[in-house]
């Protein structure tokens, strides 16, 4: 079997470990991330393989390791890496990474909250705008009705004036 060595790019450096992504498929090797966080690679790989969603996305690719050598590594798509990181227990990581993992998990909780409640807030805001526009439209309709009433009254007065002018022919003898 002939493995293609994937070109990689460094995404971030965590605890002096480069976290890389394959440039073509956006796959991220799991082992360097486990090393950076000080967590067991074997237990994380087992957890990933037991997860119904993550297990369907894990792939083995030949990438360039930190030592410059080609290595076959289990990778996750960048799309799913954030969800996997969210499952990591901060008490299981090295002390230097604990604060970062906690901060990341807080950001994830905030992002989930903002996403789900943001949709609700957006609908509520749109409803408020629609109500204001409907009230404005009702006001315009009332103004239009008043203007039409005024126009009709003015027409009637003009007709009355014309009628009086035509009916009031001067007479010589009254």
pTM over 0.85: no
Per-residue model confidence as pLDDT tens digits over 1-34: 334 445 556 655 555 555 555 556 688 889 988 8
Angle, helices 41-50/30-37, rounded to nearest 10 degrees: 130
The mean pLDDT value for 160-174 works out to: 75
Question: Quick one: fold of 8-88?
Answer: Mlu1-box Binding Protein; DNA-binding Domain (3.10.260)
Which residue ranges make up each domain of the chain?
A: 8-88, 102-167
The mean pLDDT value for 66-93 works out to: 87
């Amino acid at each position: 079997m002939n493995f293609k060595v994937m070109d990689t790019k460094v995404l971030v450096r965590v605890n002096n470990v480069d976290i890389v992504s394959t440039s073509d498929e956006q796959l991220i090797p799991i082992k360097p991330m486990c090393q950076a966080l000080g967590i067991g690679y074997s237990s994380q790989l087992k957890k990933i393989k037991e997860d119904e969603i993550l297990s369907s996305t894990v792939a083995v690719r030949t990438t360039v390791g930190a030592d410059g050598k080609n290595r076959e590594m289990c990778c996750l798509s960048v799309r799913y890496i954030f969800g996997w990181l969210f499952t990591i227990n901060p008490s299981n990581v090295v002390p230097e990474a604990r604060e970062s993992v906690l901060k990341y998990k807080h950001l994830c909780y905030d992002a989930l909250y903002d996403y789900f409640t943001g949709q609700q807030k957006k609908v509520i805001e749109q409803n408020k705008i629609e109500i204001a526009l409907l009230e404005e439209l009702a006001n315009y309709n009332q103004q239009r009705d008043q203007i039409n009433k005024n126009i009709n009254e003015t027409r009637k007065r003009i007709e009355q004036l014309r009628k009086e002018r035509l009916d009031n022919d001067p007479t010589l003898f009254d």
